[in-house]
Structure 1
Amino acid sequence: MITAQNGVIFFFAEKRFLTADVTLQDLGRVASRVATCSDDICTSGQTDGKTAILVFVMEETSNADAEKNGGYGSTAVVTPQHVYNEDVRIVDEHERKDLVRGLKQRHIQMIAIAGAIGTGLFLGLGSSIATAGPLGSLLGYLFVGAIVCAVQFALGEVTALFPVTGSFVRHSEILIDPSLAFAIGWNVVYGAFMSVPSEISAAVVLIQYWNDSVNPAVWVTILIVLSVLVAVIFVGVYGEVEFFFALLKILLVVGVIILGLVIDLGGVPGKPRLGFHFWKNPTGPFVEYIADGAWGRFLGFWAVMSNAVYSFSGVESLAMAAAETQNPRQNIPKACKRVFARLTIFYLLAILIVGMLVSSKDDRLNDESGTAAQSPFVIAASDAGIKAIPSIVNAVVLTSAWSASNQSILAGTRTLYGLALKGHAPKFFIWTTPYGIPYMCVALQVAFSFLSYMCVSSNALTVFFWFVDLTAAGVLISWIAIALNHIRLMQALKKQGISPEELPWHNSLTPYGSWFAFVSCVILLLTGGFTVFTKGNWDPSSFVSSYLDIPLVLVVYVGYKLIRRTKFIPLQDVPIRQAIEEAQNDPENVPIKARGWERLNILWG
């Protein structure tokens, strides 16, 4: 029973009548009523496999009427307001029967970490230092880290209530508008599938660091075959593969941070202690970008935002396979919190160390080879006379690129599967293997992977940047959708008179954080290509890559809305009570207690 502003809502399934005991709290009495289903409200055919949801209003009657209704001095008449049908469970029937819950908490955490720790960390930090200086870069990543915190908490709270495949895409359909889910969903699919050839092209560049005599088509073929094999096997095996590569990245990050501290503090024989020397010379903690003075320093700080967003991209993917995750209502919120904390610590420590090791005026930071040669960690190690570091970093970045392509495959195929479940994509995309893999979605992804062969006739690094430019803004649009979903959930809770404390997982700061993330992401999206509007910096390709996604999403949204005539979901119709009761009755939804060695599981559990 839900107490709402307009009365009491009752839920019942496959019944011809409902006995409703209504407690009049202000009178301290109980009125019993029987609500029957007439044929125009629900029939046995309509209720087969469905839950009929009747919404009632309560009206006090006069004493005379009360005597007819059982003799209460004052009572309530329960009358139906409106009725609609919903699936029996929030999670679709196909999700429950066809998908396999093979992902554990450590898997989904590492999938997100594997997607976020890659070229942005190992290669991209140098360009950020060159653009904004050591302190400007640190503040830029700190600001985006705060946005990621808000986004992750919002995603965890909504996913704990609605643990569906497709994550925030399906959430938009439940909470806001099916047209928005259609537009955001296809944008995610497009971005994820285009990321696969971009990462494969990047991997080819990294391989050519050691040997550029082999035809790139050979490496492209090998990488595509490996990606397809990982994509079509049992999802638990995929989780183990990503777990291994993510752990490898974490070990490298920890290793280079420790190495950086040793170099900075003068631990290498014959090398002086650097300390914060490069925070003072040659430019100080900030770098002037485009303009002079304080305005130029601010523009440098703001220009780093795009790099920071690209670096953190992928963290939202951990909930894409919610229906394939064990105990998602407990595991996904916990993973959201831990992934944010770990990534933020890694990135902030890494950029702090880089700013101490390398001058913002070092020309090597702008190396366009796309290999380990441009890594600030490699530059610092080379200056310290440590020769083995370049190949080690290049090898791990190579695994990062391939791992990131696997993460994109998971995000794209599961989003496409979720779209097909709700009729936003052809139904054959819901076909799965006996192991629960949506193989038709994987087949479409393979078709996009063949775009990687473009690097055979063109420079592989050029092809990589083509694809990156086409997908960069999509990350911010996804974050905006996550924040907007959570804002709507909070509004629906208030409208229906439900306390947020009844949710499977809730944090008191999330309502404020979602507004902060929403406003910040909108501003970043609109200003992401601001440099092209400054004097002498107009670049058509940069303009298109920064802003193409905005009109594409708007056109798809408006077009679908006009064709299908969808409407915004009324706040009172959001099935929150149904989802809460489903969570309470979920046998998997029990708190997870660490046991034995799991208490020491700090990095991955």
Structure 2
Amino acid sequence: MSFIDEKDRNMFDVHVGTIKPVIGTIEEEEVFEEEKDLKRGLHQRHVQMIAIAGTIGTGLFLGSGEALASAGPVGTILGYLLTGILVSGVVISIAELAALVPLTGSYIRHAEYFVDPALSFAAGWNNVYLTVVSIPAEVVASAVLVSFWTTSVSNGVWITIMGLLIIVTSLCFVRIYGELEFGFAMLKIALIVGLIIMGLCIDLGGVAGQPRLGFQYWRNPGPFVQYLDIPGATGRFLGFWTVFSNAAYAYSSIETMASAAAETKNPRRNLPKAAKRIFIRVLLFYVISIFIVTLIVPSNNKLLLRSTGNASQSPFVIVATSAGIKVVPHIVNAIVLTSAWSSGNSTMLTGSRILYGLAREGHAPKIFLRTNRFGIPYLCVLFIGVFIALGYMTLQSSASMVFGWFQELVAAGTLVTWIVICVVYLRFYYGCKRQGIDRSELPWAAPFQPYAAWAALFGFGLILLTGGFAVFMRGHWDIEKFFGSYFNVPFILIIYFGYKITKKTKIVSLDDMPIRFYIDIANQNPETPEPQAKGWRRINILWS
């Protein structure tokens, strides 16, 4: 197979330790560069909690109120639930690929071998571009969150401090990142559990001076909202449809766990284990939390549409304040602040590893392959870190509009990322069928395939194309919304076809995919057996 031969002559950079080359006369075992340069510092508990942390963020704590105001209680729950189901399809798809081919850069590298080098180039640089605009957004969000407590210090100070924190922690051994995400995830889980209990107490009349609410707000103002005052079922459906874009942004970065596959211990065991629990986490943390919100806050509460960027816009804070619970806003703001830091760290990890992966495939300058003594591609981190300076644009009020565009672009780019993952997986799936490879031979075969990948591909494709539908309605044209919703579509197509025409790349045929090659590598390099859980670890449902 010509595709394998060409790659083997250049020494396949598979992260498996040591293997014998398939082509050539060399008999000695070779240590591949990716194994030598990057160090495995992420353990099972890190991967499990990174997967949890990736599903919990400002989209739940702050953004759920906007969804409730646009769609009503039933519309909001359905939107988050259906989006969570689609996202689960993306996660199990990328986990199956990463378990077989645990490369740094994840789906970007997989696209090179299972679809087209041009798609790898386009998706990779699209992700780098998203990284350099999303990290400044998180840094600025941190500054706004701090302003909840004090306005006497310039936001520029907090932008500088948070930017330096993200860069410094990203240059340390990857286990430092794992420990930070572990701690952040524990804080988020504790907050969500606490808010759910608080919400139930308020709803059931357990707070002095507050009546029992029950399902009162489902009846009045009602289960759905008439979006833009459009009458009838059409207005209610459009309100429900707006939740998908909101929920997609809330679930963004959920695929982060696979980006550092080459730095994960026993990735063929630990990545699938984390992926299999994604839907349960979505159900527990998002759907139940949103359900509680719909019980205690009416969808016509004007405070839900107040965009302050800090804890005061959280529906949990709104109801806690009205109930006289004064400490909740400060707790929520503090943990959302850690969420912004966590999100910045995750985005930096993903972006820098994808840039490293691009360099390994020859799609980026080779200088980005340099690593420090901790096994971190430090030049990738520093290159992305330079763009944190974009956050200073928000110090001038005239530039804040531009930053709003950045946030819209990140939301649309997340959908593009998920679509690419589904395309890569489906090509891989049908490559297995063409070559007569039973999926039971894989390190892990995801359930519900290929239906889960097809559903996610169709669903997110439809959401991407209709995400800015409101701008096409009479009297609602908004150039910022249109640009943010649709810029990514022509952007990635131009990069893809530009590279394809320039380099004359070809789509990898189903027969030439190196699937058997990777299966042989996995069989020749078995992972260490999982130790039997003892004591309290036997009932640990978070990361065991």
Shorter-chain TM-score category? over 0.9
CA distance 1:417–1:400, shift in 2 (3 Å): same
Q: Matches of 1:590 and 1:459 in 2, distance apart?
A: 58
Larger CA deviation: 95-104 vs 463-472: 463-472
Q: Matches of 2:539 and 2:243 in 1, distance apart?
A: 36
Q: Specify which structure has the higher proportion of strand.
A: 1
- Asked if structure 2 preserves the Cα contact closer than 8 Å seen for 1:152 and 1:336, the reply is yes
| Pairwise CA distance, 1:217 | 1.4
Query: What amino acid sits opposite 1:586 in the alignment?
Result: N
Alignment of structure 1 residues 398-547 onto 2, 5 Å: 398-458=337-397, 464-547=403-486
State the SS of the aligned residue for 1:274. coil
Query: What amino acid sits opposite 1:182 in the alignment?
Result: F
- Asked if structure 1 preserves the Cα contact closer than 8 Å seen for 2:49 and 2:542, the reply is no
1:288 and 2:200 are equivalent in the alignment: no
C-alpha deviations, 1:51-88, integer Å up to 9, x for none? 239xxxxxxxxxxxxxxxxxxxxxxxxxxxxxxx9xx9
| Pairwise CA distance, 1:193 | 2.2
| Pairwise CA distance, 1:190 | 1.1
Query: What amino acid sits opposite 2:113 in the alignment?
Result: I
Aligned to 1:309: 248
Alignment of structure 1 residues 134-533 onto 2, 5 Å: 134-282=73-221, 284-290=222-228, 291-458=230-397, 464-533=403-472
Q: Matches of 1:121 and 1:353 in 2, distance apart?
A: 12
| Pairwise CA distance, 1:234 | 0.5
Q: Specify which structure has the higher proportion of helix.
A: 2
Query: What amino acid sits opposite 1:51 in the alignment?
Result: V
- Asked if structure 2 preserves the Cα contact closer than 8 Å seen for 1:248 and 1:396, the reply is yes
Q: Matches of 1:461 and 1:569 in 2, distance apart?
A: 44
Q: Matches of 1:546 and 1:604 in 2, distance apart?
A: 36
Percent identity between matched residues is 51
| Pairwise CA distance, 1:501 | 1.1
Q: Matches of 2:369 and 2:273 in 1, distance apart?
A: 29
Q: Matches of 2:428 and 2:468 in 1, distance apart?
A: 32
Structure 1 unaligned regions, length at least 5: 1-8, 14-41, 54-84
| Pairwise CA distance, 1:127 | 0.6
| Pairwise CA distance, 1:464 | 5.0
CA distance 1:354–1:569, shift in 2 (3 Å): same
State the SS of the aligned residue for 2:389. helix
Larger CA deviation: 315-324 vs 208-217: 208-217
| Pairwise CA distance, 1:122 | 0.5
Alignment of structure 1 residues 36-75 onto 2, 5 Å: 50-52=21-23
Aligned to 1:98: 37
Q: Matches of 1:601 and 1:343 in 2, distance apart?
A: 18
| Pairwise CA distance, 1:422 | 0.5
- Asked if structure 2 preserves the Cα contact closer than 8 Å seen for 1:109 and 1:339, the reply is no
Q: Matches of 2:287 and 2:349 in 1, distance apart?
A: 27
Q: Matches of 1:518 and 1:117 in 2, distance apart?
A: 23
State the SS of the aligned residue for 1:510. coil
C-alpha deviations, 1:468-503, integer Å up to 9, x for none? 122211111111111111111111111111111111
| Pairwise CA distance, 1:604 | 3.2
- Asked if structure 2 preserves the Cα contact closer than 8 Å seen for 1:153 and 1:336, the reply is yes
Alignment of structure 1 residues 571-586 onto 2, 5 Å: 571-586=510-525
State the SS of the aligned residue for 1:52. coil
Query: What amino acid sits opposite 1:52 in the alignment?
Result: I
- Asked if structure 2 preserves the Cα contact closer than 8 Å seen for 1:201 and 1:461, the reply is no
| Pairwise CA distance, 1:207 | 0.6
Return the index of the structure with the highest Cα Rg. Answer: 1
Q: Matches of 1:206 and 1:115 in 2, distance apart?
A: 20
Query: What amino acid sits opposite 1:209 in the alignment?
Result: F
Q: Matches of 2:466 and 2:316 in 1, distance apart?
A: 30
- Asked if structure 2 preserves the Cα contact closer than 8 Å seen for 1:199 and 1:464, the reply is no
Q: 1:133 aligns with which of 72, 76, 82?
A: 72
Aligned to 2:15: none
| Pairwise CA distance, 1:119 | 1.2
CA distance 1:593–1:193, shift in 2 (3 Å): farther
Q: Matches of 1:253 and 1:341 in 2, distance apart?
A: 15
CA distance 1:102–1:460, shift in 2 (3 Å): farther
- Asked if structure 2 preserves the Cα contact closer than 8 Å seen for 1:156 and 1:336, the reply is yes
CA distance 1:144–1:286, shift in 2 (3 Å): same
| Pairwise CA distance, 1:595 | 3.3
- Asked if structure 2 preserves the Cα contact closer than 8 Å seen for 1:201 and 1:463, the reply is no
C-alpha deviations, 1:334-357, integer Å up to 9, x for none? 111223421332110111000000
Alignment of structure 1 residues 594-605 onto 2, 5 Å: 594-605=533-544
CA distance 1:454–1:603, shift in 2 (3 Å): same
Query: What amino acid sits opposite 1:117 in the alignment?
Result: I
- What TM-score results when the alignment is normalised by the length of structure 1? 0.84
C-alpha deviations, 1:170-224, integer Å up to 9, x for none? 1111100000010001111111221110000011111111111111111111111
Query: What amino acid sits opposite 1:122 in the alignment?
Result: F
State the SS of the aligned residue for 2:131. helix
| Pairwise CA distance, 1:460 | 9.1
Query: What amino acid sits opposite 1:602 in the alignment?
Result: I
- Report 1 or 2 for greater relative contact order, CA contacts < 8 Å, sequence distance ≥ 6: 2
State the SS of the aligned residue for 1:571. coil
| Pairwise CA distance, 1:461 | 6.7
Structure 2 unaligned regions, length at least 5: 13-18
RMSD between superposed Cα atoms in Å: 2.4
CA distance 1:464–1:344, shift in 2 (3 Å): farther
State the SS of the aligned residue for 2:277. helix
Aligned to 2:489: 550
Aligned to 1:56: none
- Asked if structure 2 preserves the Cα contact closer than 8 Å seen for 1:197 and 1:467, the reply is no
| Pairwise CA distance, 1:111 | 2.4
Query: What amino acid sits opposite 1:306 in the alignment?
Result: S
Aligned to 1:65: none
- What TM-score results when the alignment is normalised by the length of structure 2? 0.93
